[in-house]
Amino acid sequence: MFDTLNYLLAGFAAAATPTNLLFALIGCFLGTLIGVLPGIGPAAGTAILIPLTFQLDATGAIIMLAAIYYGAMYGGTITSVLINVPGEAASVITCIEGHAMAKKGRAGAALGIAAIGSFIGGVVATVLLVVVATPLSKLALSFGPPEFFALMVVGLVLVTSLAGESLLAGILMTVTGLLISLIGLDPVRGAPRFTFGMPELYDGLNFIPVVMGLFGIGEILATAEKPYREVIRTNLKGLIPSRDEWRRSMGAIWRGTGLGFFLGLIPGVGAIIPTFMSYILEKRLSKHPEQFGTGVIEGVAGPETANNSYANGAMVPLLTLGIPSSPTIAVLMGAFIINGLTPGPLLFQERPELVWAVIASFFIGNVLLLILNLPLVGLWAKILEIPYQYICAGTLLFCIIGAYSINQSIFDLWVMLGCGIIGYLLRKLNFPLAPLVLGLILGPQIEKSMRTSLEMSAGDFSIFITRPLCASLLALAVAILAFAALHFAPKEIRDPNAD
C-alpha cells in the first residue's frame, strides 16, 4: 500500500510540472473542442491529433492524449444540451433531459451539474483504479459472450422503464430499433441482410448520422414549425442548480459513478450502455418518474457522471491487460504505443514512473476540466440567445460536416436526413425515442454474443444456463420482466372498465 502511495506521489510530482500541466490544459481544451464538433467523435479526433504529439516527450504526449479523451467526453455534452445534437454516441441520453432543461432556460444548470458530476465520477473512478485495478480486472475477464448476451438482455428488458405512457408504443419502438440495427452483413456468416445491394449498408446504418438526424434535425424541423421563436434568456438563477436540484443530483452522481466504473471494467461494453443504464436507474428510483423527459436534473447528473466514470474504469483493462474496451480507447492505446508506452501487465513493472505519472494526470485532467468548463458554462448558455435562425443554420451545417466526416460519405447524409424526418414525425406523435435508440445499440450486440456463444458451444444452448454468472443475469432479466408485467397489467385490465 505504501509503495503504491509513494509511486502515486512521485507520479504527481512528474505530472505536475509546468510543461506537463500545460499539455494537460491544451489537451482538455482540444478534447472539448473535438467533443463539441459532431461526427468527429473522440476516436477520430484523438487519432487526428496523434501527430501533434510526436514533438513531445512520451509523458507529455500521453498526458495530453488522456486529457483530450476526457475533454471529448464533456464536449459531447455541450452540443447535446444546447442544440440537441449528440456530439458523440454516449451523449444521446443527455439530449433527452439536458436539452429539455435548456428549453426551460436551465442550460447552465444542466451543463454545470454535468461538469461537476463528471469531475466526481472521474476522480472517484481514478481512486478505484489505483486501489482495485488488478484483482477486478481478472473478474472482468470471466465475462464471456454468454454473460454479455445476458447483460444485453437485462438492458433490453429495462426498456420497459423508458416506455412512458404507452407500453405498446415503447416496445414497438424498441423492436423497430432492433430491426434497423440488423441491417448489414450478418455478423457470423457475413451474408448481406436488407442491404439491397448497396455496399454502404454492409456495416448497417451508421449510428451517429441516425441519432444526429433523429434528435438534431428532428428538433430543428419541429422548432421551425412554430412561427415565433422566443429567445431563451438565461438569468443567473438558471446557471446554477437549485438546492432541490443539488439534493436530487447527489444520489444520481454516486450511483452513476459506481455503475460507470464497474461497467468500464468489462471490455467491450462501450460508453453508451452505462449512460442509458444510469438514466433508467434514476427513472426507476425516482419518486416522480413521469417527469422524466421534461428536463429533470438527475437525468443529466447520473448519465454524465456514469460516462466519465466509465471512461476511467475502462482504463483498467487497458493498463492491466492491454485490452481496449471501445474503439476510442483503442485509438488511445495506439497513441500510447506509438509513444513507447505499451499497455499491458508489464507496464507497472517496466515503467512504473510513467504509468503513475499518467494516472496522476488523470486526476489532474479531471480537475482541469472542471476549472476550464465551469466558468464557461455561462458563455455556452449565452449561445442560446443568438437569434434562432443563425443557430439553425449553424446546427444544420454542423450536422452536415459531422455526418460527412465520419466516413467521407454522402450516403450517411441521406441517412441523417431520412432519420430527421422520421424523428420529426415521431416527435409530433409523441412516440418515445429512447427505446428506439436502445434497440439500435443493443441489437448487434445481442445477436452477435448469442451466436458467438453458440459457436463456442458448438450449438449447445445449455451454455446459457450452465454458466453461473450468465444464468443469474438471465434470471434477473426474467424477474424484471415479471415485475414490469405486474406493474402494467392491472392498468390494462382496469381500462375497459374505466369511464
Partner 1 sequence: MRRGWLAAAGAFLALFAGTIYLSLKLPLLDALGPGPGFFPLILALLGAALAVALIVELVRESQGAADTHGAEVAEPFMPDGAALFRMGGIAVLLLAAFSALDPLGYRLTALLFITLLLLVLGVRNVLAIAVVALALSFGVFHSFYYWLKVPLPIGGFGL
Partner 2 sequence: MRLLRLAMSVTAVALVAALGSAGASAQQYPTRPINLIVAFPAGGSTDIGARVLAGIAEKMIGQPIVVVNKGGAGGQVGWTELARAKPDGYTIGFLNLPATNTTILDPDRQAIFNEGSFTPIANQVLDPGVIWVAANSPYKTLKDLLDAAKAKPGTVRAATTGILSDDHLAILMVEEANPGVSFRIVHLLGGAAQMKETLGGNIDVSFDNVGGIVPQVKAGQVRALAVMDTERSKFLPDVPTAKELGMPTVISSSTRGIAGPKGMDPAVVKKLQDVLVKAMADPDHIKRLEDAGLAIKPMIGDEYVKYFNETHEKAKKYTEWAKKEKK
Interface positions with partner 2 (CB under 8 A): 43-44, 46-48, 50-51, 54, 141-145, 184-185, 187-192, 197, 199-200, 202-203, 267-268, 317, 321-325, 327-328, 330-332, 334-335, 337-340, 342-346, 406-409, 448, 452, 455-456, 458
Task: Pick the closer one to partner 2 by CB: 47 or 476.
Answer: 47
Burial 207-234 (b: 16+ CB within 10 A, else e): bbbbbbbbbbbbbbbeeeeeeeeeebeb
- Of positions 421, 471, 476, 484, contacts partner 1 by CB under 8 A: 421
Segment interacting with partner 1, rule: CB under 8 A, options 83-91, 105-113, 335-343, 415-423:
415-423
For β-strands 192-193 and 184-185, DSSP reports them as antiparallel
Task: Report in angstroms how near the CB of residue 211 gets to partner 1 at its nearest.
Answer: 17
- Partner in contact with 425, chosen from partner 1, partner 2, none, beta carbon below 5 to 8 Å by kind: partner 1
- Give the integer Cα–Cα distance in Å for 410 and 403: 8
Tell me which of partner 1, partner 2, none is bound by residue 322, counting a contact when its beta carbon lies within the kind-specific cut-off of 5 to 8 angstroms.
partner 2
10 binds partner 1 (CB under 8 A): no
Non-local CB neighbours of 292 within 8 Å, separated by 6+ positions: 97, 279, 282, 283, 286, 299
Report what 18 binds from partner 2, partner 1, none; CB cut-off 5-8 Å by kind.
none
Find the part of the chain contacting partner 1 (CB under 8 A) among 7-15, 83-91, 183-191, 303-311.
Answer: 183-191
Select from 434, 448, 423 the least CA-distant residue to 158: 434
The distance of closest approach from Cβ of residue 190 to partner 1 in the complex, given in angstroms and rounded to an integer, is: 9
Distances (CA, A) of 108 to 67, 112, 116, 172, 220: 23, 6, 12, 35, 21
State which residue, 294 or 430, has the beta carbon closest to partner 1: 430
Beta bridge pairs of residue 193: 184
Question: In angstroms, how far is CA 67 from the centroid of its own chain?
Answer: 17
Q: Which ranges of 322-433 does DSSP label H, i.e. alpha helix?
A: 327-338, 347-350, 352-383, 388-407, 410-428
Q: Which does residue 197 bind out of partner 2, partner 1, none, counting CB within 5 to 8 angstroms by kind?
A: partner 2
C-alpha cell recorded at residue 233: 434568456
The conformational region for residue 404 under phi > 0 = left, psi -120 to 50 = alpha, else beta, is: alpha
Residues 435-494 that bind partner 1 (CB under 8 A): 447, 450-451, 454-455, 458-459, 461
* Structure-block grid coordinates of residue 25: 490544459
194 binds, among partner 2, partner 1, none (CB under 5 to 8 A by kind): partner 1
Please report where in the chains the cell 465520477 appears, as a residue: 121
Chain-centre distance for alpha carbon 180: 20
Q: Which is nearer to partner 2, 340 or 394 (CB)?
A: 340
Q: Which is nearer to partner 1, 16 or 175 (CB)?
A: 175
Contact partner, 410, from partner 2, partner 1, none, Cβ < 5-8 Å per class: partner 1
Instruction: Tell which positions 316-375 bind partner 1, by CB under 8 A.
Output: none
324 binds, among partner 2, partner 1, none (CB under 5 to 8 A by kind): partner 2
Q: How far is CA 436 from the centre of its chain?
A: 16
Q: Decide: 56 and 44 in contact? Cβ < 8 Å.
A: no
462's grid cell: 445449455
The correct pick among 103, 104, 193, 427 for binding partner 1 (CB under 8 A) is: 193
CB of 118 to partner 1, least distance (A): 24
Alpha helical stretches, state H, 142-242: 145-157, 167-181, 207-211, 218-224, 236-239
- The piece of 146-154, 295-303, 401-409, 479-487 that touches partner 1 (CB under 8 A) is 401-409
Alpha-carbon distance of 72 to 109, in angstroms, equals: 20
Residues that bind partner 1 in the complex, under the rule CB under 8 A: 40, 48, 168-169, 171-172, 175-176, 178-179, 182, 186, 188-189, 191, 193-194, 217, 220-221, 224-227, 387-390, 392-394, 396-397, 400-401, 404-405, 408, 410, 413-414, 417, 420-421, 424-425, 428-431, 447, 450-451, 454-455, 458-459, 461, 499
